[in-house]
Structures are given as C-alpha cells and as structure tokens.
Amino acid sequence: MFHAPQALLVCYDENICWKNHKHEEDGHSAGEMDATIVLTHMMLQAWELGIGSCWVCSFDFKATRQLFNLLPNIKPVALMPIGYAAPDGVASDRHPKRKPLAETVHYL
C-alpha cells in the first residue's frame, strides 16, 4: 500500500487490556483506545525520524487475522504502512479542506 516497504499491524490483547466497569456498557474494553494512543505516538515518532506513515483501517480484517495466524483474543486495530515519502508525492485534494470549528466544537 502506497509502495511502503513495511507496514505495522497494531493489535491489542483482549485478555489483558483494562475493562471499564463504570462504562455504560459494563466491562467495556479499553483496548482499542489504548492501541490508538500507541499508534498515534508511533506515527509522531516516525515523523520525527523523517519517516512517513498512513493510518489504515479499511482492510480485510478476517484475511489479515488468517494471514498472521492471530489468536482470537488478539484484536487488530489498524495497519500503518511506513517509509520515506516520495519527494514528488502530493497530498489529496481533501487535505486542506477543514470543517468550520462551529461544526465540530460545541460549547455547553
């Protein structure tokens, strides 16, 4: 994907991650939240080292699970292709588009 030479598959272990018993859904797993925090830091650190990356969630989870022979308690969250960005690469035309803050931030 994106001709990246490597991709990291970030997962969490449902058996050992923290479960929130105060959540409206009692015992809600914090695994996905934890994994996305880690993945964000990996992305920032990669950039600090001059390495580009892309957060990818649109992939075949079932096929990935089979390919990597993941145990049922290991939950994939995202793929992160990493590599040196092509010097002639261009951002998508949606990149500079931003919703007005009033659409995304609500003051109560």
Ligand X SMILES: Cc1cc2nc3c(=O)[nH]c(=O)nc-3n(C[C@H](O)[C@H](O)[C@H](O)COP(=O)(O)O)c2cc1C
Which residues are at the interface with ligand X (CB under 6 A)?
54-58, 91-92, 95
- Give the nearest residue (CB) to ligand X: 58
Whose Cβ is closer to ligand X: residue 6's or residue 15's? 6
The DSSP-derived string for 12-59 is: EETTTS-EETTSSSTTEE-HHHHHHHHHHHHHHHHHHTT-EE--B--S
Positive or negative, the CA dihedral 45, 48, 51, 54 is: positive
Whose Cβ is closer to ligand X: residue 2's or residue 74's? 2
Least distance in angstroms from the C-beta of 101 to ligand X = 15
Whose Cβ is closer to ligand X: residue 61's or residue 71's? 61
